[in-house]
Structure 1
Amino acid sequence: VWERLVLVFASALSVATLALDNGLMRTPPMGWLAWERFRCDIDCEHDPKNCISENLFIDMADRLSEDGWRELGYVYVNIDDCWSSMERDKQGRLQPDPKRFPGGIHKLARYMHDRGLKLGIYGDMGTHTCGGYPGTPMDKIMIDALTFAEWEVDMFKYDGCYSNATEQEQGYPFMSKALNATGRPIGYSCSWPAYQGGLPPKVNYTQLGEICNLWRNYGDIQDSWDSVLSIIDWVFENQDVLISAAGPGRWNDPDMVS
């Protein structure tokens, strides 16, 4: 059945338009992302409250839904790197680490949806993610897009570690078409500009607006005021380029400083 779905999906993909016509993120998305605070902490035995696990994301969902954040527009709860198993399953699909996500990603998505929230997930177009987990290179894009749709994920962040400029030029637009072709509205966050310096002529913001809902312009935020200031300074210095690139459904992402 899965192989048949991939064939049908490939047929749909071949006629899909380039533009990201998903109707999402007409205003800038707001929510919570795990990376800055929790990084790649997978030691649930010794650090159960802070490790990357379903419990962490359930707790954050409870905070957004119970403490008034959801009503202010903070609706995304986004998983970042280090969530998956080190191996794909027998069908070639990504799978969550079974010890840290025993309920699976679909169940976690349902938990979010039951509380009026949305679930985001992370992948990387290289052979591996930045944290060393299985990547989503070109030959895995279709199957991973289908998997995320099957899990009822609402947003996908596509990183670029362990990939080169040519792969990024092909992979970021292809993933956009793949997500669209699933039939599920999935917000698409691209890290492409951050790997190309964030500015024209290397970065084509017109093209980005056609394939991505959100794009990283700059490097990772760190847990320091100096890091925050460096991002603010860069955005200020380049605001003419950045402001003109943004609009409903297509936004600059200075890595959680907005």
Structure 2
Amino acid sequence: MRLSAEKLRLLGLFTVWTATTALDAGVGRLPVLGYNTWNAFQCNIDEDLMLNTARLMKSLGLQKAGYEYVNIDDCYSEKNRTSDGYIIEDQVRFKGGMKKLTTAIHKLGFKTGIYSDAGWFTCAGYPGSYGNEDRDIKTFQDWGFTYLKYDNCAIPYDIITQEGIVGRYQRMADAIAKLAKKSKKTPFLYSLCNWGWSQVWIWGKTQGQSWRTTGDISPAWASLANIINFNSFLTQATDFYGRNDLDMLQLGNGNLTFDEAKSHFTAWALMKSPLLIGTDLTKITDETLEILTNREILAINQDPVIGTSISPFRWGFNPDWTYDPLRPAEYWSGPSGKGTVIMMLNVADEPAFMTFNLTESPWLRAGRRYSVRDLWAHTDNGTVIRNITVEAVPAHGVVALLLNDAGSEPKGLEPLCSVLYQCTDKNGTRVGL
């Protein structure tokens, strides 16, 4: 059957208008801060590792900085369900039981999260939750978890599901909502790990509080640049209660330079992604810890006033709107409860001279001066008028600033407009011609 373009347009609008939220309970207003086991340990996890990780998060000051979740990823269970259909924890690696483990972690002041999959099996071959959504989410609640990362492997045949990825993820969203109503407990935080398929940034918010937009991250600049580039076109999807998930923080893993690690953390935090540490905390360096606990950057991520992401106002290295996985947008800004946030990202392989006119950002006004706070140096750097210039931003490095209105710019500045295009006197005389 063929439909006209107009008919398709109306059907698309109808779909958007009638979409309902399964988790309309106020959970997940701000991005999650915490830890996830996968990137550092994959399947090499046990109860001692989890408890020691929680203790390290406390002793290293990560808990104090706001990281509150300790999350178990794949491989925690037996390979087969019980005879009556339940997932059980690995009887050797988690011999004390999940409930005992989460209770111990909770006593340290943390919350706990767990992992499952919308298919027959998880990505590592353990039992998935397809067809067992109600049973599994109740098990996870009984174990003491309040956060669920939900993956997208081992999909059943179409003739079995008779639904796409939206429907398969909706099954668990409905199970979470049903359990919350029955148990009278707060619904699980639901993190959709579906690698950006089916325009998840459009439908994800009808189901959960975060949604992965790309494939898995790698501890290399090319991977970071690709993720930043892809998400630069999706920033409008992020706000309170729902946000693009750029995947876990790779600080301390791989071959990232210190400047690349700062850029990684800054972009993730200011784009309001969940911040889940994926580093072996027994090997964490003072430099990495300094990045992870930057309170001024974290405060923007956890802003209680403005929930939106920063967005590009100029691509810089490329013409605006260029899709380039290795050279993402360089000039970003956005509002916050503390002022206008600026991120300048040098995507070149060598130090770069970077400059922009203040009015290029939609959040800054012409004819005003602005105070400047450096969010990495933690210094107040006086005021700026009309433009900001940084002479040598390190290769793959970042500048993060917070600007606040400091009054009118001085009278008598020439030229009369910082941007001469259509700058006109009230008598009609064009300036700059």
TM-score range (shorter-chain normalised) is 0.7 to 0.9
SS in 2 for 1:178: helix
CA distance in 1, matches of 2:135, 2:87: 9
Cα distance in structure 2, aligned partners of 1:170 and 1:207? 11
* Aligned counterparts of 2:164 and 2:78: Cα–Cα separation in 1: 24
Matched, 1:159 2:159: no
One-letter code aligned to 2:76? W
Partner of 1:67: 60
Please, which of 137, 140, 144 is the counterpart of residue 148 of structure 1? 140
Structure 1 match to 2:85: 92
Q: 1:247 aligns with which of 213, 234, 239?
A: 239
Correspondence for 2:276? none
* Secondary structure of 1:60's aligned partner: helix
The C-alpha deviation readout for 1:214-244, integer Å capped at 9, x for no partner, is: 11111111233332232223223x2xxx222
Using the TM superposition, give the Cα deviation of residue 131 of structure 1 relative to its aligned residue in structure 2, in angstroms: 0.5
Match of 2:190 in 1: 188
Any idea what the Cα deviations from partners look like across 1:198-228, whole Å, max 9, x if unmatched? xxxx315343212111111111112333322
State the partner residue of 1:117: 110
- Partner of residue 173, structure 2: 176
Q: 1:105 aligns with which of 57, 73, 98?
A: 98
Secondary structure at 1:182 match in 2: helix
Residues 237 and 243, structure 2, Cα contact 8 Å, conserved in 1: yes
| Residues 22-69 of structure 1: CA deviation (Å, up to 9, x unaligned) | 3222111011111111112xxxxxxxxxx2111111111101122211
* Distance (Å, rounded) in 2 between the aligned partners of 1:153 and 1:249: 19
Deviation at 1:174, TM superposition (A): 1.7
The change in CA–CA distance for 1:206 and 1:222 in structure 2 (over 3 A counts) is closer
Letter of the 2:127 partner, please give it: P
The whole-number CA distance in structure 2 between the counterparts of 1:178 and 1:22 is 14
**Amino acid corresponding to residue 132 of structure 1 in structure 2:** G
How many residues are matched?
221
Verify: 1:128 aligned to 2:114, yes or no: no
Counting aligned pairs with the same residue, the percent is 35
SS of aligned partner of 2:113: strand
Q: Greater relative contact order: 1 or 2 (C-alpha under 8 angstroms, separation 6 or more)?
A: 1
Would you say the 8 A contact 1:129–1:161 is kept in 2?
A: yes
**Equivalent position of 2:28 in the other structure:** 25
Q: Tell me which of 230, 236, 244 is aligned to 1:234.
A: 230
**Cα contact 1:53–1:100 (8 A) shared by 2:** yes
Q: 8 Å contact 1:158–1:191 — kept in the other structure?
A: yes
Greater share of helix: 1
Which residue type is aligned with residue 171 of structure 2?
F
**TM-score of the two chains, using structure 1 as the length reference:** 0.80
How big is the shift at 1:195? 5.1
SS of the residue corresponding to residue 70 of structure 2 reads strand
Which 5+ residue runs of structure 1 have no aligned equivalent? 1-16, 41-50, 197-201
Residue 225 of structure 1 aligns with an amino acid whose one-letter code is W
Contact 1:37/1:223 (<8 A) preserved? no
2:221 to 214, 221, 225: 225
* 1:55 and 2:57 are equivalent in the alignment: no
CA separation in 2, counterparts of 1:151 and 1:73?
A: 24
User: How far does residue 20 in structure 1 lie from its aligned partner after superposition?
Assistant: 1.1
